[in-house]
Amino acid sequence: MQPPSSPHPRHGPRNLADSSSLGSLFDRTRILADLDQQLRRHLSPTLAEHVRLGNVRGDRIVFLASSAAWASRLRMEQATVLRLARALGVQARALVVKIAPPPAVPEPTPPGRVLSAAAASHLRAAAQVQTDPELRKQLLALASLAPD
């Protein structure tokens, strides 16, 4: 028994946008990104920097703010945002603001320890007395890590 034929071959890479569910997801993402830009363009630059459109659900526009203070400032602009959204074709009656802090920036990794000149000298001396050529090579490579 053979599996039913598919309009898409099962072998080889496929474009993700060709999948109906992913294609519609890409379209929705693009629409939300465009709406986000249009709405934030009409906010003050400092406010626009700390908020972003999260979703449009039914008659609600959901914004994400980086802190409670920015969420409060956006709520004060609620009438303006809703009026602009309606002008852009979104049938919004309510503005929901959720707090979503930006992702934490990872701490920079401290630089590795520097090999002292004395340690490099000891590694070179140890390399000179080694009979194993591979160990000698490794000790010299370690000694070369010391700053000049």
42: CATH = 3.30.300.180
Do 95 and 25 sit in the same domain of this protein? yes
- Do 77 and 119 lie in one domain? The reply is no
Q: How confident is the model at residue 146 (pLDDT cuts 50, 70, 90)?
A: confident
Q: How confident is the model at residue 3 (pLDDT cuts 50, 70, 90)?
A: very low
Whether residue 85 sits in one domain with residue 60: yes
26 and 95 in a single domain? The answer is yes
The C-alpha atoms of residue 56 and residue 76 are separated, in whole angstroms, by: 19
Domains contained in the chain, number: 2
Average pLDDT, the chain: 85
* Across 25-34, 72-81, 103-112, least confident range: 103-112
Residues 119 and 76 in one domain: no
Q: Does residue 104 lie in a domain region?
A: no
Residue 71 domain flag: yes
Distance CA 51, CA 40 (A): 8
86 and 134, same structural domain?
A: no
* pLDDT (mean) for 120-124: 92
For residue 2, tell me if it sits in a domain: no
**Residue 55 falls within a domain, yes or no?**
yes
pLDDT confidence tier of residue 1, bands split at 50, 70 and 90? very low
88, part of any domain? yes
Q: For residue 140, give its domain range.
A: 115-148
Instruction: Report CA 7 to chain centroid distance, whole Å.
Output: 35
Give the model's pLDDT for residue 27: 85
* Residue 11 counted as domain residue: no
Report yes or no on 7 lying in a domain.
no
Packed helices 68-76 and 78-87: angle between N→C axes, nearest 10 degrees: 60
Q: What is the pTM of this model?
A: 0.56
Is residue 123 assigned to a domain? yes
State which H helix or E strand residue 56 sits in. Answer: strand 51-57
- pLDDT surpasses 90 at 26: no
Same domain, 125 and 95: no
Residues 83 and 129 in one domain: no
CA 145/CA 117 separation, integer angstroms: 10
- Residue 105: pLDDT above 90? no
Is residue 28 located within the same domain as residue 67?
Answer: yes
